[in-house]
Amino acid sequence: MILKDIVKSTGRYITGIVYPERCPLCGRTMYAGSAGIICQKCYGKAEYTGDSVCMKCGKPVSEDTEFCMDCTGKETSFICGKAVFVYNQYLQKSMAGFKYYGRAEYGRFYAMEMFKKYESWIRKISPDALIPVPVHEDRRLKRGYNQAEIIAGWLGEMTGIQVVSDMVIRKKHTNPQKELSNKERRRNLYGAFDIVKKSRELYPKIKCVIIIDDI
């Protein structure tokens, strides 16, 4: 077991030299073995969500407010949402690199931060699986990966929870959500996803899941 760990550690070190790690916020090259770590110049730039968040979707709200405007008086098909970061300019740049410019290694950073912030909550609800939100196959081929699946893979490794990527499929292309209103977002995603017919046969014991997405 010790030898196996040494080999794995050495392999990661060599990989880090050939393909150097980068700060997930600014993209600056860092020393080998620093995967998932923010560089010194970027410390404090990642703004974490605090205690004042919507009890339904996890969006930051003002103090003593239970629900955001989007969730007030509305029923949802999920129990609650959790967010790690506030989407500021630094996270916007990081996410753009992760999604559009081949910085797939940033996924480990996001998974590590999810794990650090929500490990106790994850253990408490004890989900049967982590399900990454699927991307359309054309988009996957263009990017080379599904960013949500990368995050889920790392988080699954940290928690020991299985990652199920073949239960939900994306049926159609959708417009970017960030520039749409709440009503437009719902319309945009209507009919975009479907459950694989054989999933109930393949995963009969899955009842509680955490859906992983990058936004």
The pLDDT value given to residue 32:
66
d(CA 107, CA 130): 15
Orientation angle between helical segments 89-100 and 106-125, nearest 10 degrees? 100
Q: Tell me, what DSSP letter sits at residue 176?
A: -
Contact 37, 44 (CB under 8 A): no
What integer pLDDT is reported at residue 2 of this predicted model? 52
Residue 15 has a pLDDT of 41
Domain ranges of the chain: 1-44, 110-215
Q: Give per-residue pLDDT as tens, 47-90.
A: 999 999 999 999 999 988 999 998 998 888 899 999 999 999 99
What are the residue ranges in the chain where pLDDT is below 70? Answer: 1-20, 32-36
Q: Which residues face 129 on adjacent strands?
A: 209
**Distance (Å, whole) CA 6 – CA 143:** 33
pTM assigned to the model:
0.84
Let me know how long the chain is. Answer: 215
CA dist., res. 206 & res. 202, Å (int): 10
pLDDT score of 33: 63
Cα(138)–Cα(72) distance, rounded to whole angstroms? 36
Rounded to the nearest 5 percent, the helix, strand and coil shares of the chain are 40, 10, 50
Gyration radius of the chain's alpha carbons: 18
Task: Count CA within 13 A, CB hemisphere, residue 149.
Answer: 14
Percent of the chain with pLDDT over 90: 54
Query: Distance (Å, rounded) from C-alpha 54 to C-alpha 15?
Result: 41
